[in-house]
Structure 1
Amino acid sequence: MTSKNVLIIGANRGIGLNLLKAFLARSWNATASIRPQSRDDPSILKETGAKILEIDYLVEETIQNAAQAYGDNPLDILINVGSLPPHPKPWSEQSSELMVERFRVMAVGPFLAIKHFLPSLEKATEPKVINNSSSFGSISTNSFCTCMAYRTAKAALNQESVTLAREWKKEGRKTTIVCFEPGFLSTRLTNWDGEDDMETSIAGLMKVIESVTSQDSGGFMKWDGTKIPY
Structure 2
Amino acid sequence: MRTKTVLIVGANRGIGNNLLQAFVRESWDVTGTVRPQTRTEKDPTVVELEKVGVKILEIDYLDETTIAHAAAQYGSDRPLDLLINVGGLSPHPKSWQDQTGEMMVEKFRVMAVGPILATRHFLPNLELADNARIVNVSSAFGSVSKNSFGTCMAYRMAKAALNQATVTLAREWEKEGRKVTLVNVEPGFVSTRLTGWDGVDDMATCIAGLMKVFKDIKPEDNGTLIKWDGNRIPY
TM range (shorter): over 0.9
Q: Does the 8 Å CA contact 2:6/2:29 hold for their aligned counterparts?
A: yes
2:18 is aligned with 1:18: yes
Aligned length: 230
Structure 2: how far apart are the matches of 1:134 and 1:41? 27
The one of 218, 227, 230 aligned to 1:225: 230
Q: Provide Cα deviations, 1:124-166, integer angstroms capped at 9, x if missing partner.
A: 0010000000010000000012211000000000000000100
Q: Which amino acid in 1 is paired with 2:115?
A: P
Q: Which amino acid in 2 is paired with 1:63?
A: I
Aligned to 2:114: 109
Aligned to 1:134: 139
Structure 1: how far apart are the matches of 2:189 and 2:38? 24
Q: Which amino acid in 2 is paired with 1:19?
A: L
Q: Does the 8 Å CA contact 2:93/2:99 hold for their aligned counterparts?
A: no
Deviation at 1:90, TM superposition (A): 2.0
Deviation at 1:110, TM superposition (A): 0.4
Q: Which runs of 5+ in 1 are unaligned?
A: none
Q: Provide Cα deviations, 1:22-60, integer angstroms capped at 9, x if missing partner.
A: 111111100000000110111121121110000000000
Structure 2: how far apart are the matches of 1:218 and 1:145? 25
Structure 2: how far apart are the matches of 1:37 and 1:161? 28
Q: Superposed, which structure 2 residues align to 1:89-168 within 5 Å?
A: 89-168=94-173
Task: Give percent identity, aligned residues only.
Answer: 65
Q: Superposed, which structure 2 residues align to 1:136-215 within 5 Å?
A: 136-215=141-220
Q: Does the 8 Å CA contact 2:92/2:195 hold for their aligned counterparts?
A: no
Deviation at 1:88, TM superposition (A): 3.1
2:44 is aligned with 1:42: yes
Structure 2: how far apart are the matches of 1:137 and 1:210? 24
Deviation at 1:123, TM superposition (A): 0.5
Aligned to 1:4: 4
Q: Which amino acid in 2 is paired with 1:46?
A: E
Q: Which runs of 5+ in 2 are unaligned?
A: none
Aligned to 1:52: 56
Q: Does the 8 Å CA contact 2:60/2:67 hold for their aligned counterparts?
A: yes
- Displaced runs of 4+ in structure 1, greater than 3 A? none
Structure 2: how far apart are the matches of 1:119 and 1:142? 36
Deviation at 1:194, TM superposition (A): 1.1
Structure 1: how far apart are the matches of 2:146 and 2:15? 24
Structure 1: how far apart are the matches of 2:93 and 2:230? 27
